[in-house]
Chain A
Amino acid sequence: MIELDAVSAAFALLSSDLSAWLYLLPGLVIGLVFGAMPGISITMAMAFALPATLYMDFLPAIIFLTAIYTGAGFGGSVPAVLMNIPGTSSAVATTFDGYPMARAGRHNEALGVALASSVLGCLGSYLMLFLLIGPVSGLVLKLGPLEMFAVAIWGMLLLGSLAGTYLARGLLAGAFGVLLGTVGFNSAGFIRGTMGIPWLLDGVPQIPAMMGLLAASQLIGLVNTTYLITDESARKISFGKTLSGIRLTFRFPWVIMRGSIIGVLIGAIPGVGSSISNLLSYSETRRNSDDPDSFGKGNPAGVIAAEAANSSSEGGAMGTMLALGIPGGGATAILLAAFAMHNIVGGPSFIANNKDIVYALIFSNFAQAVLLLFVGLGFVYVASYIVRVPLHYLIPSVLVVSNFGAYAIEGSAAGPITLWVFAILGWAMLRYGYPVAAAVVGLLLGGLLESNLLRTYQISGGDYVDYAVQRPGALIIFALMLGSIALQAVSKRRRASKLSAGKPE
């Protein structure tokens, strides 16, 4: 499984090339700053830095980009905790408990928890990658469209457990999101729902829509609030409390471990990645908790579950990218572009011929994760000051920056207009108890669901049952899905009976 010769060659490579280490710190800082800025995604941060790597050697270039990846992964949790604005879809679940913690004046603790979980998740994922890169690459190669469809449906159904008070409203939000996610060209060449607007041919712009649903809608709802944290004494910045948040993380080893495993496995599946893993990990942690009702109200375990999973997804996505040459998302697509810039083709032949480089990348990511703890601690301390800013400064500023980001992503007014439309929709949904996260995930997965269902239909010739029988992997995923739903129902009933038993006469 582990080739010791390649491992020692990797150590030699890293110790002989100092320039590989020189780019670690700038990469992390760039990633943290960009990740924490609303409207700038991990992909954008890496895309901005990509031209700079042209003049670097291959290994330092990739290490620099992965450092940005790691830094931005945690950076995204800073606005998620402080402003309920996930920098990327992978930080959606971080907002569920991170933001309520901030609203309760526990922002330092929440950031400390998020940092430690990110570091541990990242370390765990690269450790797993180190041990399992061979077997994982074989497994991912066997995933067909039916399996991909099953995984995406599983992710969608899990939102039922995150739907809050009204189950029907949660399901409608998810279904509406999926439908919006299928607007434009489908993979069979049909154009639907564009209303004659050219920029809708490629579908609803996802990032501006996500920014509108999750970020701008919340800011509109905050217009009548003076400060992010109403209690003035709770707005104090405390280095000690951030450290206590880090210590608190170690009291949840199983949450970290589960999150890391989910993150690696889901992150390894192309196209799904951290946007699902953080929700899946959050949902599983809530389901297994003794006090599931405390989730969504500021339970640190929710932040740990989400952050451990989204940071460990990086290791999974890197595994797929290195082993198969398939990018799991935008960030790994940029890494593959960096490979190409250096005339290197990722995939099975790369991993077979350059195991020393693969192990060197894994080791440098161990170093990145450890360094992130210290750099992130300083960054958190600075970033926490944002809660001291009165909201009449923060709301207009963040809305404008989000509009700039939406424009930069789309390169036209389509971005800001999409952001505006979805901000109204998100604001209205929040007012009447519709879970916005369900619509966001539906929107992200709509295209994936349709194209995989379509491929399954084409391959099976319409005979799904016969085809499914030949795909034991898909059947296992469906069985796991049904099992997890059944477990959820049982735990809900158990909780309800506990509650009724505990009620005073």
Chain B
Amino acid sequence: MSSKPRRKVVWGHLVLLSVIVVTVIAYLLDARGVSTLPTNLLLIQPLSIFALILAAFILPGVFPRKDAAKEPVAGETRLELMRCLALIAALGLLAFTLERIGFDVATFLFMVATMAICGERRWWVNIGFSALFTILLIYGYGTITPFPFPLTVL
């Protein structure tokens, strides 16, 4: 008799499904809190219930058997996953700091960080390309769009 568990947990999938379920429930409760009139809930309520039923159907897939068909991400190393997460973090920092530290500084720092994350090890190439790209983008995009991008240096 084997001591190995017959099922495993796909943690990433569990997190994604939880986020979807929590969002749907929170949205439905919020909508019901606003009004229970049909003109408010006509689409949202039945569709939310449908989505929750679907999530219940999907849930067993989060705990597949050990011998089940592998998920698309099977074979990914921890380092590769960390790179993805680092890129996500850099993108988030860019989004939240663009207006505060200026588009020029935020873009340059993002370029340097993400080029390093993506594997560019030659620091002079990294800094040179990032600086050049930032200048070209700020002046090029600034020319074609009417929006005033907040800048700090350029």
A residues contacting B by CB (< 8 A) are 48, 166, 168-169, 171-172, 175-176, 178-179, 182-183, 186, 188, 190-193, 216, 219-221, 223-224, 226, 391-393, 395-397, 399-401, 403-404, 407-408, 411-413, 416-417, 419-420, 423-425, 427-434, 449-450, 453-454, 457-458, 462
- Asked if A175 meets B88 with Cβ closer than 8 Å, knowing A392-B118, A417-B96, the reply is no
- Within the complex, the shortest CB–CB distance from B8 to chain A, in Å, comes to 14
Main SS at interface, chain A: helix
Give Cα A176 to B30, complex, Å: 16
Those of B128-149 within 8 Å (CB) of chain A: 129-130, 133, 137, 141, 144-147, 149
Add 7 more A-B contacts to A179-B51, A428-B12 (CB < 8 A): A190-B34, A223-B84, A226-B119, A392-B115, A420-B94, A431-B13, A432-B72
Interface presence of B40 (CB below 8 A): yes
Contact residues on B (Cβ < 8 Å of other chain), bracket: 35 or more
The count of A-to-B residue pairs whose CB atoms sit within 8 angstroms is 181
Q: Whose C-beta in chain B lies nearest to the C-beta of A399?
A: B91
- 24 of the cross-chain contacts (CB-CB < 8 Å) are A171-B54, A172-B55, A175-B51, A176-B23, A179-B27, A179-B48, A190-B39, A219-B87, A223-B83, A223-B84, A392-B120, A401-B141, A407-B98, A407-B147, A408-B141, A408-B145, A416-B94, A417-B95, A424-B88, A428-B16, A431-B12, A432-B73, A450-B44, A457-B38
Give Cα A462 to B38, complex, Å: 9
Contact between B34 and A191 (Cβ–Cβ < 8 Å)?
yes
Shortest 4 CB-CB distances between A and B: which pairs?
A392-B118, A416-B95, A396-B114, A188-B39
Binary contact track B50-63/A, C-beta < 8 Å → 1, others 0: 11001101100100
Which has the most chain B C-beta neighbours within 10 Å: A178, A403, A404?
A404
- Asked if A48 meets B147 with Cβ closer than 8 Å, knowing A179-B24, A432-B73, the reply is no
Q: Whose C-beta in chain A lies nearest to the C-beta of B71?
A: A432
Contact between A182 and B43 (Cβ–Cβ < 8 Å)?
yes
- Within the complex, the shortest CB–CB distance from B131 to chain A, in Å, comes to 13
Give Cα A462 to B37, complex, Å: 12
Binary contact track B12-38/A, C-beta < 8 Å → 1, others 0: 110110011001101100110011011
Interface presence of B105 (CB below 8 A): no
Q: Whose C-beta in chain B lies nearest to the C-beta of A226?
A: B119
Contact partner of A220 (CB less than 8 A), chosen from B15, B24, B35, B88, is B88
Interface presence of B127 (CB below 8 A): no
Contact between B71 and A423 (Cβ–Cβ < 8 Å)?
no
A residues near B5, Cβ cutoff 8 Å? none
Contact partner of B10 (CB less than 8 A), chosen from A393, A407, A432, is A432
Give Cα A180 to B10, complex, Å: 25
